[in-house]
Amino acid sequence: MPLKKTTTQKSSSRPRRLKPAAIERIFEIFQRLNPKPETELSFSDPYTLLVAVTLSAQATDIGVNKATARLFPIAHTPKQMVALGEKKLADHIKTIGLWRNKAKNVIALSKKLLSDFNGEVPNDREALESLPGVGRKTANVVLNIAFHEPTIAVDTHIFRVANRTGIAPGKDVLSVEKALIKSVPDTYKHHAHHWLILHGRYICKARTPECWRCPIEKLCLYKDKTPDPATTKAPTKKQATKTRKSMAKKPKLAKTIRKPTK
């Protein structure tokens, strides 16, 4: 009698995703704890916001604010920035990463604002992305903060939180952004960017998420929740190695390809 072929059911590789009711509850909690979240970058208008966000790539907000505290008093308009020049601008931002390329981009985008947009920051994604050094994330931040558009800029913090919690899992920045736009209730879209980035920056940290003090811990789908260090023993070497391996398997933020500057 011939043997019957047996088929093994493959486990689903689809990431776990929170249900709409749970996502809404998470943003209800975020809103209750922080009704009016704000960016931690210092700025006074759309142009200084655009410059600050451009400078913030691979740099901390604190570091950018220290640099712009010296820069903006003497150059806070496109015309003033162009007059300052690339060399002097570079001297003001040497304390932050990639300062040479950033100085070049800020001068170039300021010139384009003067030549193509009458010195005004456009309220349009395509127009913003046409500026040197401005990608989708920067455009989303400017549209959200300066023009109150319900956009969600996905950085490393938001990418991590969206995947860990199950709010909007995705393999790359764009897929997470689209998932967030689809899953976050309209009521919370305007502030969603800030709530998620602040949560990732101060609680849902990359190396050791502080799950024991997380306000959405019971709703979050992250399996390897970190216990309160005050009430638990230090992990053994074997446990620490297992945790590091587990963290290494989490989705990583895909590198974005910047458009070449003209």
Active-site annotation, residues: 137, 155
Rounded to whole angstroms, the Cα distance separating 31 from 138 reads: 24
Rounded to whole angstroms, the Cα distance separating 46 from 178 reads: 25
Rg (CA), the chain: 22
Residue of 92, 31, 89 lying closest to 66 (CA atoms): 92
Handedness of CA 92, 94, 98, 103 (dihedral sign): positive
